[in-house]
Structure 1
Amino acid sequence: MAGTPVLRGNDLVMSEFKMTPERAKLLELSRAKGVSLSKMSELIGRNSAYLQQFIKRGSPRKLEEGDRMKLAQFFGVSDDVLSDSQENSYIEEIGAADSNYIEVPRLSVGASAGPGALSSQETPFDTFRFSRRWLVEQGLEHAQLSAITVEGDSMEPLLNDRDEILVDCSPRPLRDGIYVVRLGDTLVVKRVASTGGGRLALLSQNLAYPPVNVMAQDVEIIGRVVWKGGRI
């Protein structure tokens, strides 16, 4: 019967599902390299049935960009090979016609709100899409924005561990506020206040953490924190 699920071992195949070119290519690459779909699923940090469901059931509808890039790197091909060409064309058309949104890069970087953590390579892995109107309302239309993750508890309850924050890296005079700063190889997010004499105080919201006093030349101000988002 058309549309009836057929159970074959661990495979659930929809008889009406039509395999798309990017799915067929991924299956071809896996067979050529002799790597199972379950192993490739584990490679991208998913459950073992993830790519099998993607190819044979059409779920998820498309691969996330990060997953696609990991697979493309593994097979030594362009990530365009594993993307939906029709969908990409649609997105390009919408993007060309619609200037009402601004994409903000999400960086694979954590800013410590605790003892301190070494920063990783500052490479975008994803984007947030913000309404231009909303950015104007927030006074951020021309801001140089990026999104990074808070690590640790020293800024609680204002900023919690794993919150994502928008950092405005636009050059501007320093005034008291919440900033991401670099101390050597370490990124931290703190309230920064000038204490005079070329010195700065790095203050935590969590009173369990004492203030850190530094010379201004020993600190690189990365940007001001202007927005946060996180789970409730």
Structure 2
Amino acid sequence: MSDEAGRARLLELAQASRASLASLSAMIGRNPSYLQQFVRKGSPRKLEEQDRRKLAEFFGVSETELGAPEENSYDSRLDATASSGGWVEVPRLDIGASAGPGALPVGEQAFDTFRFSARWLREQGFEGAQLSAIKVEGDSMEPLLRDGDEILVDRAPRAFRDGVHVVRLGDTVMVKRVASAGQGRFALLSQNMAYPPVEVAADEVEIIGRVVWKGGRV
């Protein structure tokens, strides 16, 4: 794939997953304008190999889609390779999804990974998903989600349907049950009845991804 096509594909993937180029730059440890300059100005001309691989892992695509030569390409969609032995690494992002009054995210940079069996992911119907792991903070989604639970969020672009999602409202990242409220509006609902529902216009909220799995201490 040409350098220009790789830049266009990166922009397409970012827009589809509703991830800003600034947040993606932070995720790979670069300054906020790094990927903006790469996409808009072609500077740098090519992504560093480690940066390209982190982005490919995040989006769940082959590095060739981001401009890597075929012979040097990593494909995170492959179930088993000699190095992974059939395991898929899911990034743990350095943010908390508030299940309370709301919290400002510190950043969106992966600080660790969970390793999942590729077979288990297929059995759960997660093949093709763009998974990230984040921690739940607060009690508004109890008893479904508790403070400290880790959740898997599928950021792959899909048609919206009601369910539990991680959303961004202003600068706040939160996990809520999101339901269509008609006429271009969404209702953000808590499981804990102590928290009233919040209704917002569709253009006021960014749906980051759907919560597809949870894990936590007993």
How far did residue 199 of structure 1 move?
Answer: 0.6
Task: Report the number of matched residues.
Answer: 139
Give the AA of the match of 1:227: W
- The residue number in structure 2 matching 1:212 is 198
Distance 1:97 1:200 in 2: 44
The runs of at least 4 aligned residues of structure 1 exceeding 4 Å deviation read: none
- Correspondence 1:112-151 to 2 at 5 A: 112-151=98-137
Distance 1:142 1:149 in 2: 22
Distance 2:153 2:96 in 1: 12
How far did residue 99 of structure 1 move?
Answer: 4.3
Comparing both chains, which one has the higher relative contact order based on Cα–Cα distances under 8 Å and sequence gaps of 6 or more? 2
- The residue number in structure 2 matching 1:108 is 94
TM-score normalised to the size of structure 2?
Answer: 0.62
Which stretches in structure 1 are left out of the alignment for 5+ residues?
1-93
1:7-58 per-residue CA deviation (whole Å, 9 max, x = no partner) reads: xxxxxxxxxxxxxxxxxxxxxxxxxxxxxxxxxxxxxxxxxxxxxxxxxxxx
- The residue number in structure 2 matching 1:226 is 212
* Residue number among 176, 182, 188 corresponding to 1:196 in the alignment: 182
How far did residue 96 of structure 1 move?
Answer: 3.1
1:134-189 per-residue CA deviation (whole Å, 9 max, x = no partner) reads: 10011102100000000000000000001000000000011000000000110010
1:96-149 per-residue CA deviation (whole Å, 9 max, x = no partner) reads: 344411000011100100000001111111100001111001110210000000
Q: Does 1:167 align with 2:153?
A: yes
TM-score normalised to the size of structure 1?
Answer: 0.58
Structure whose alpha-carbon radius of gyration is higher: 1
Which stretches in structure 2 are left out of the alignment for 5+ residues?
1-79
Distance 2:142 2:107 in 1: 26
